[in-house]
Amino acid sequence: LTPILLADHDTFGLYHEALGPQVDIILYYARNISTEAAKDVRTVIDAFLAEDSSSLQWRKCFRNIFLLGANLTAAEDQYHSRMWEVTWNLGPNMQFYRMLDYMASHHTADVMYFMEGDSIPLRPFWLDQIVNDMNARRPFSVLGGRYDGHNWDKYSPSSDILTPALRYHLNGNAVYNASHSLLVEATRLFKETPDWNSQKHSSFDVFISEMVFKEPGMSAGNMENPPYDYKRTAKISNHATTLTLPQDVRACEAVVHGAVYLGNWPAEGCQRVEGDITWYPKSEVEASEDTSMTLVVSDFADMSIHTFMNSLKEAGAFLRDEVTESSCPSGNALPFQRMVVLTQDEDTAEDYRNDTSLNITGMDIDFVARDWSLGSAWWDICSSVTEITTPWFMQVTSYFKVEENFKLPVDVDVDGKLVPAVPRLSYDSEFCTRECRSSVLNARYVLPTFNWHYEQQYSVYNSATRSEYCSTQVDDTSINEKGEDPSPDGYFAYVEKIAGADEIGQCEGKADPPRCHSQLVKAACNRTDLVGQHLRETCMVVCATCPEESFDAPIDFTVREEAPTYAWWENKATTKATADDRLKYKLYDRLKLFTAPGFIGEVDNSVRCEQLSSNFTDCPCIFPFYYEDKLYEGCSPDNDICPTSLPNTLELMPTSDDHRKCTQEDMDATTGGRQLAELPMPAVPDEPPRRRLSEAANCSEVAGLTTNVDVTLAPSDANQAVALGSGAPVAATSSDGNGLHSLTFKARPGTSPRSTGDVGASLQGWALLQAQQSVPLQRAESISAVLRTTDTYDDSRTVQLTYQLRDKDGNPRTDVAGVKVVLIVDGHELDECSRPTTNALWHSCSQQVKANMFSHDTHASVDVELRRDWTGPNWVTVHAVEAIGKVLIHRKPLWVQEGLASQFQSATSFITLPSAPLLEGDEFEVSIYAHTGAYPLETFWVTLDYDPSVFGFISFSDPKLFNAIEMDWGVNTRPLRFKAVGVQGTTTAQDVQKADLLLVTVKLRVHIGTRAGAHTFKVHVKEFINPGSVMFLADGQGSVLDARDNAQAEGQLHVRTIAERGILSYVPSGQLANWAVLTGQTQEHKVFTVVATDSDQSYRNVETGAVVCSLITPRPTVLLLNDCIVTLNSSHADTAYVPVTTMYGPFSASVPLTVYTPQTVAISAADSVLNRISANVAGCNVYQRTTVSTVADGLDVTLLVTYQVSDLAVLAIATTSSSHDVHDVLRGIAKGKGEVFLDGRDAQFASTVVSVTNEEVTATKLVSRLVTGARWDTAPPATLQGDFTASVELQHSLPVEGNTGRIFARVTWSDGESQDVSTGLVAGENALMVTSSTSSLEVVAPESIEQHWQARVAVGAKALCGDLLSVELLMCSQPVQDTVVPAIVSVPTATSIVLSLAAREDRLTPPDNDARFGPMSVPVYSALQVMVHYTEGNARDLTLDARVNYTVNEEECAEIVLLDNERRLAIKHSAACTWVTVSAVFDGSLTHSVPVAVVVVKDMWINFYGYNANWNVVITELGLVQCTTDTYHHATARASIQLSDHGEGQKVYVLHKGISNFESNDTAVAEIRSQNRVFVKGPGSLKISATFRSTQTKASASLVVVNEVLAFVKALTMSTSLYGSPRRTVRRIVDESQPTTVAITFDNDVTLPDVAKSDWVDVESVISFSSDDTDTISIDTTGTITLHNNAPSLTSLRAELACDSSKWAPPLTVAANLDPAPFDVDFGREYEWQFEPSGDRLAVDVRIRTPAGQRLINFQVICDFDVGFLTSDGAHKTDTGWSGVTDTLNDPPSSFQLVGNDVASERKNLVSVGRITLVVLQAGVTLITGKIQEIITVDAAGGSTRVEETPVFAGQGYASLSLSRRSRLLSALPGEHAIGHPTPRRAAEA
C-alpha cells in the first residue's frame, strides 16, 4: 500500500462508521527503509505515522498502520521496458513474493489488498464495497479485476498473441489470501528455486494465472472453482496504460488501476456520458464556440464517399444508442458540427449536393470543388475553398471509415480549457518505416530538429495556427524551397517551432547536427550495446563528449521506469504550447499508449519496393550507415545490404524492414547511393574521444593560462544581499592549472526569512557567474493568542482563536512543519487545530467544545499550547500560554435534554430555533415538526411566520416521506406556506405517525444591516389529514422551541453585533540591522497591528494613529519609537533586545524585537602611499591607484557604503560610466595627504589616511591572461543555513573557429604594489595595446574604454600553442611595460569533406521539361551542402565558406548558382546530358564529387478502366448494359508517363484526374466528362487523345463500342439502412420511405455500386423489386421502401434482374417497427418486432415523442388489449426514465394506464415513461391498441400544446404470444396484422 491512496480520505469516503476499523495499512517500501538513502521517505512517513488518529476521520477506519521494507538491493529493484532482459520485472516480482511470505509467516491476517499507487478510488465508501465483496466471495486465492480497456480489442480469443493465462489473468492490484494453497505454492517456488533472481519470470500476477492454466483442459469458466478459487470482482478494475474516458468506467467499479484519464471532445447539444460525473478524475469540457470542430474530407469522386458517409452515420447511431435522447437532443453525438467535402470538380460537387443519402442529422455539410492549381489533395489542408469557420478541424480522405465506437480524447488544462490529445510516432522507432521517415524529413524545412510522425487520422488542427503555417511556411518559397506539400508533420513541426524548440548547444563553437536532438540519440549515447562510437563523435553536445567534458560516467539503467498512468500522463506526456499560450496540445507516444477508436484507413496492399526482386528505383540506398559499429559507405563485394531509411543514429536496426539487397547498378555507382540531408559521414577514429584536448608535445609546457589575475566574489546587489564576505580571499591553482579563487561568507545581520539575494563572481568588471540564494524559515518556538469566542451553546460549540507563532529571533513567519496547536478548555483538550499555514503572519483555529460539557452553565478557562514532534510520535510542548481568556458554556435547554418526542402530548406542530445568537449574514435552519397524535399523517398544510425584512429565505428540504411538497408565500411574502398531499409509495404508516415527525427544514439568512435584538417566529397548522381523509387538526397554533427551556407560542431568535476581542502586533522581521551608522541614512520600520473579532470572517488592520506603542524599557541609544514607527539613525550605537508593547483600546500585545548595530568599523586602503608613475613624458602626471574596503564586525560591508575624501585636490574616487560599480578605487591627484571616510559620516567615526607623493615608481612587471569563462568549483548554497565558502575556477578554451576570450592584465610597480589594468578607468591614464603573433588568433580592440580587448580564433585557424599574444601597457600613450600571453588554440585539422545534395531525389530535370511537374515532381535544382570533417571527429557545415570551390564537369548542362544564401546545382534549359558531376574542393586540397542524373519525360500513354473506380478492370471494348437496348457501359481514361531513366520494374507515373486534358474525336460515339469519364452515347470506333502540361507531352488510344452485351451480370447485392442489434429493423414514422441500394457485379469484374443512383442506367429497366408483405413494407420500382405498419413477423425484400429472374440478390429479411410521430405513443420494443414475450410475461415499454425542442410535462396514456390473451391483473411497473409515474393496473384487467406530471421536466424527443410487464394468459396473435387521454408539451418560449382524446398509432400492433419459456414468432396470414390509419390528431393550443 502507498500513502498516495490516503491523501484525500478526509473528504472521500472509505467506510461507513458501522463497519468499523477492520483493516491494517502497510506502507510497503521496495528497499531497506532504515538506510540513509531512504531518509527522505522516512521523513514523510514518520510524520504520517505520528498524526493523531483521533483528529482524522479516515484514521478511525483502520486498526493499525505499519511501515515495511522489502529490503531489495539496487540490483534487485529493477523495472524497465527491456523485456528481453532477466531483470525487466525483477523488482516488483521480488517485492510481491516477499510480501506474500511476510503475510503468511509474520502477520496475524491472511488476506491483503495489494494496492499500488496508481489505483485510484472513484466511488465513496470504496473499501466498504471491496471488504463486503471479499466476505461474500470466500473462499478465494486471488480476488481481482481483469483487463477492462480497449487495448486488446484487436486480438480475438483465438489469437496467439494473448495466451489464455495472460488474457484472463487478474491484475496484481488485487486481494490475496496468503494461506490459500495456490499462493503457498507460488511462495514456495520463489523461496526454494535456486538462483531465482537470475532467471526470467513472468510478472507475478500473470505467473499465478499460468499456474492455474497448467491444469489440462482449464478454461476461463473454471478458474473460479476449487481448488484454485481464482475469482474476478467487478469492484476492482484494470485499465493499465489505457486512454480512458468516463463512459469506459462502469458504475460497479470502485477502484480503477493504471488508467490514463481523459475527457471526450464535446459534441454540441449531445452529452456522451449521462448524469453527474464529478467522481471522474478528469473534468469534462463543456461544448462552446471554442470547442466547435469541422471535419474536412478529401474525396476523389470514386464513390468511396458513400462508404465513408455510411460509416459516419452508423457511428453516430451507435453513439446515440449509448445515451437517452434527453442527453442528446441534437441527435449528433459526434464532435463535428460541420463537414466540408473537397472533391474533384464542380460537377461532382453538385452531384453530391443533390444526393440526399449524403445528408447527416445535426451536421452542416458543404461540397466544394478542389483547387487543383495548388497541387495534390494534401493542399486541402491549406486550400482557401475549405472555408473553415470553426476553431478546430480534422482532415481525412473518403478512403477512411469511422469506427463505430468513435472517440476523440481530449485533455483539460488548469484553466478548464480544451487540450487536444494527439498521438505520434518517433522518427527513430522501428515502426516508423521509410514512408514515415520521408514524411518527417520533408517537414524538417520547418524545424530542423523535428523528429515525430503524426498520422492524418489522428491529427487535430487549430484553424488559426493552420492559416499561419500555410502562409508563413508552406507558401513562402524562401522557407519551403523544395515546394513541399502541406502535411500533418509539417503542421506539427510548425507548432513545435512557435512553441519554442529546444536550443541546439555547441561544442567548440559548432552545433550538433539537428538529427542528434532525438530521444533515441540521447538515450543511446552511453549504450555501447545500442550504437557504435561514431554517434558519440558526431553528437558531442548531446552525448556530452565535447572535449572539455567527460562522457565516461555510466548511465544507471537499473531503475524503475514509470508506466503510463494518470500521474504519468499529467507529468510526462509532452504539453506543447505556443509562446502566447493560445494553443496547447497533449502529445503522447503511440508506443506508450494505444490510440482510441476513431478513423480507420484502407490497408495498403501494394508491395513495398524493398520486397521487389528486380529493380528498386523507388527506394534508393542511403549511405553511409553503421551496423555493429562498422561503417559502410556503399555497396561492395563485402557489403550487399542497402538501407532505404535510417534512424537518427545512422545505425541499421536489425528489426528494420527498410533495407534491400544491393544490385549490380548499386555496385557500379561511384558514390554507393544517395545521402540524406543532415546526415554527414563522420570519420572513424582509432580510439574514443579523449577527456582532455589533444595537445602537441610542446603544449604541455604552456601553463598558468588563467593564474595571476584576481576575481571578485561578492553579492551583485548591496540592497538585497543575504550574505557578506568574511576574511581575505584565497587564490590558488586548480588541478587543471587554472586560477582558483575562494572566499568565506556569513549571513548578513537583519535579513528576514524568505529574503533572496545572490553571490557573483566578476573579473575587472566582467560578470562571470551568479548564484541565487534564499533565507529559509526557522521553526516556531513561541505562541501568542487572542480568544475570539466568549460564549458557546449546544448548537454553536465552536471556540475560535487567532494566534501568532514566532521563531527564536522573533520573526512572525516560521517553518510550521511538524508543529501543531492545541486548545484546552476547562482542563479538557480539544481536537488538534488545523495545521498553521507556511509564511502566514497569523493563524486561526476553530475547535468544538465536547458535547458533554453543556449540562450546566460554566465559566471555563482557555489555555493554548504549541507542540512539536521532537521525539518522533511523541509531541512535546514547546510553549504554553495559560488562561488566555474565559468562555461561558451555556447549559442546553431542557427540551434538548429531554428530547423532542416528550415535549407535546397531542397533535400539534412545532419548530426548533437555534439557541446561539446570530450575526448579520449568518445562515441557519428552522425545522418544522408534527406531533401526529393518534393518526398517521398523509396530508399537511403548515405556515411559518417571521419578519422577511430581517430574515431571507434560501431553500428548504424534507425527508422524502410525502409526495412533492409545494411551497409559496402569503401576502407581502409572509407567512411561508408548505403543503403536501399524499405519501410516497415506500412510506409506511409507522413512518408518519410520530411525536416528532420532521416535515420540512427551512434554511434562512440574517439580512446584512439587521439590528441587534430578539426577533420572533411562529408556526401555524392549517390542515393535518390522515389516510382516511379525516382532518384531525385544523387552524391550530403551533409552538416554538428556542433558547428557553420550554415551548413558547412565539419564539425568539437573537441577533448580535460583531465585537472586537483582541489584537496581534508584529514587525515583519524580528531582528533589525542599523546600517545607518555606516551610511548616515535613517531607517524606518513600522509596527503593524491587526484586530481579531468574534466573527470568523472579520479581521481589520488598525491604522498607526489608533495604536499606542511603547518600549518596556526606554533605550535611546538603540532606537527611537514614535507613532509605532521604529527609527534607526547614526546616533544609535548600541545592540540590544528591545520588546515593544502596543495598546489599542482595552487590548495590548507585545512585539519581540532585537536591533543589531555594527560595533567595530575599520576602513583600509590596499596601498596607503600612492606614488607618481614614471612615464618619461612631459606633462604626464599620473599617480598610482588603490582599492578601499570597509569591514564591520568582521564582515566586508564595502558594497553597502560609499566614500568621501578630505582633500579633493589630493585624492579622488575613480568614476566610470560602466554598469559595474567601482566606487572603491582611489587614485592620486597631486602630492599631499588626505583622509578617506564614509559618505554620510564624519572622519572621526572611521577613516584611513592615504599619502600621495612625487616619488616616481616604474612598472617592473606586467602579467596578462586570456580568460574565456569560469565555473563554480564550490557553488554558493541555494539555501542559506550558515557560513559557507564559494570558489570559482577560471577557464581557457579555444577549440572552435570564432571562439573568443577577454584579455586581462595586472601591473607590479617598483615599490612592490600591484594594480589591475585593462583599458584604463580614466581616459589617458593608461591603456593596453594587444597584438597577435599568429593569423590563427586575431585580436579585437575595445569599442569603448569600458570594454576589454578580445582574442578570437580566426577562420581557417591551425592548432598551435605558446605565447601567442603580446600586450603593452601605455601611460600617457607611451609604453611602460610589456608581456606575452600564453594561449592554446586547439582547433582540429580538416581530414575530409563530404559534398551532398539536399534534393529528395538524386536526379534533376531541365526547367523547361514536364518532368518537373507532379506527380513526377523532379526538381530543377538542388541545394548543395559541404560538411568538413576534422581530426577530433566533429564536422562543420562550410557550404558558404570562401575556402570551398565548386565546379560542374558538364558546363553546357548545369551550373552552380548562389541564390537566397544557398549554393545550388541548377540544370540548364534543354539540357541534353544524362549525367552531370558536381565537385567541391576545400582549402585547395580536400575534394569530393557527386554524380547527378538528368532525366526528362520519355513516353506517355492512355489506358481505359471500368467506370466507378474499377481500376482493376482494363477496358478495350464497351457494350450494352444487360437488360437494356440503348444504355452502354462507361469507362474512365487514365494517362501514364515514364521518364528517361525508366527501366524494368521502375516506377510509372499515373496522371491524376484534373492534370491531364482528354478529348474525343467522335462525340457522337462518346464524349469526355468530369473525372476523365468516357460517357458512351452509341456504337462505333473512336480515338481518345490526352495532353499533359505542354503540347510536347501527349498520347492517344482507340476504343470500340458495340451494340451488344459483352459483360453479363454475375451477382447482385441488396442493402438498406437498418437498426438494432442485430441490425435488421426498419424504423420509420408511418408511410415514411427510405432507399435501398442494389450493387451489380458483372462477369468482367466491373461493379456498379448503386444502380438507383447511377446517372445513366435506368434502374426500372434493370432491376425488379418485391416485398412479401406490402401491407407492412412496400417497395416501388426504384427500390424505395415505405413502412406502413408494425408486424409481429419478419418481412422479406427481394431484388432480381429484370430480364433474368435467375439472377437475384440474397433477400433482406427485416423487422418492421414504427417510430412515433410527434404527439404519438409507442408501445413495446424500439427495435426488432414490436412485442416479445418472455415465458408467461410480456414487457410493454411506453415511449412518447415530443415535437422538436418541446418538453414533455404531462401525460395520461391508456393501453388496451384482449383480456383473453393478456391481463394487467398481477402486472407490475418498472421506471425507465421518469420516476414518480402513477400506474393503474387491473382496473379493468384488459388495460393499464400511466399518468405523469412534472412541470420542471426537461425530457424531450423520444421520452421513455415506464414499462408494464403484463401476464400472458393464452398463446396466439392478439392486437394491442391504445389511447392518449392527454399529452402536454412546453416550447422554449413557455407556450404549451395539449393533445387529448386521440388514439395511439405507432404503438398499435399485434403480439405473437407463447406460454413456453422460449418465445417464438407465430405466423400470421397476409393482412392479418394490418391496422387502419386513425384520423390524424389535432393539437389544441393550451
Do residues 991 and 1012 make contact, with C-beta atoms less than 8 angstroms apart? no
**Dihedral angle sign, alpha carbons of residues 1288, 1294, 1300, 1305:** positive
For the residues 1017-1037, what does the mean pLDDT come to? 93
Is residue 1687 exposed (0-12), middle (13-18) or buried (19+ Cβ within 10 Å)?
buried
**pLDDT at position 1575 over 90:** yes
What local confidence, expressed as pLDDT, does residue 560 receive? 57
Q: Residue 747's beta-bridge partner residues?
A: 723
Residue with the bigger pLDDT between 1125 and 687: it is 1125
- SS3 at position 1836: coil
| pLDDT band for position 607 (cuts 50, 70, 90) | low
Q: Model confidence over 1694-1742: pLDDT tens digits? A: 999 999 999 999 999 999 999 999 999 999 999 999 999 999 999 999 9
- Count of beta carbons in the 10 Å neighbourhood of residue 128: 19
Q: Model confidence over 1028-1070: pLDDT tens digits? A: 888 999 999 999 999 999 999 999 999 999 999 999 999 999 9
Q: Residue 22's beta-bridge partner residues?
A: none
Percent of the chain residues past pLDDT 70, beyond the cut: 89
Residue with the bigger pLDDT between 1827 and 313: it is 1827
Q: Model confidence over 665-686: pLDDT tens digits? A: 777 654 433 333 333 333 333 3
**pLDDT at position 1863 over 50:** no
CA distance 912 to 1017: 10
> Which among 1193, 1082, 1070 has a CA at the least distance from the CA of 724?
1193
Distance of CA 1219 to the CA centre of its chain: 44
Calculate the alpha carbon distances from 37 to 49, 80, 554 in Å. 19, 21, 20
CA distance 347 to 1796: 54
CA distance 521 to 972: 80
Average pLDDT, the chain: 85
Do residues 235 and 129 make contact, with C-beta atoms less than 8 angstroms apart? yes
| pLDDT band for position 1098 (cuts 50, 70, 90) | low
| pLDDT band for position 1105 (cuts 50, 70, 90) | confident
For the residues 327-346, what does the mean pLDDT come to? 86
CA distance 1781 to 1809: 7
What local confidence, expressed as pLDDT, does residue 1818 receive? 93
CA distance 1574 to 1568: 5
For the residues 977-990, what does the mean pLDDT come to? 92
- SS3 at position 1553: coil
For the residues 902-910, what does the mean pLDDT come to? 94
Question: Any idea which of 60-69, 736-745, 986-995, 1209-1218 has the lowest mean pLDDT?
Answer: 1209-1218
Cis-peptide into 776, omega within 30 deg: no
Do residues 859 and 888 make contact, with C-beta atoms less than 8 angstroms apart? yes
CA distance 699 to 689: 19
For β-strands 1147-1151 and 1140-1144, DSSP reports them as: antiparallel
Residue with the bigger pLDDT between 594 and 690: it is 594
What local confidence, expressed as pLDDT, does residue 1345 receive? 57
Q: Model confidence over 1082-1094: pLDDT tens digits? A: 999 999 999 999 8
For 168, phi then psi, to 5°, come to: -105, 15
Task: Please state the length of the chain.
Answer: 1886
pTM of the model: 0.49
For the residues 152-174, what does the mean pLDDT come to? 80
Q: What angle do CA 808, 812, 814 make, to 5 degrees?
A: 70
**pLDDT at position 1462 over 70:** yes
Q: Model confidence over 1369-1416: pLDDT tens digits? A: 888 888 888 999 999 998 888 889 999 987 666 789 999 999 998 888
Please list, in sequence order, all residues whose beta carbon lies within 8 angstroms of the beta carbon of residue 945, skipping any fewer than 6 positions away: 974, 975, 976, 1017, 1018, 1019, 1020
What local confidence, expressed as pLDDT, does residue 818 receive? 84
What local confidence, expressed as pLDDT, does residue 1557 receive? 85
**pLDDT at position 1673 over 50:** yes
Hey, what's the cell of 737? 592549472
Do residues 1149 and 841 make contact, with C-beta atoms less than 8 angstroms apart? no
**pLDDT at position 551 over 70:** no
Q: What angle do CA 1581, 1584, 1586 make, to 5 degrees?
A: 170
| pLDDT band for position 565 (cuts 50, 70, 90) | low
| pLDDT band for position 615 (cuts 50, 70, 90) | low
What local confidence, expressed as pLDDT, does residue 1317 receive? 82
Hey, what's the cell of 1394? 563530404
What local confidence, expressed as pLDDT, does residue 704 receive? 78
What local confidence, expressed as pLDDT, does residue 163 receive? 84
CA distance 1065 to 842: 10
**pLDDT at position 16 over 70:** no
What local confidence, expressed as pLDDT, does residue 194 receive? 86
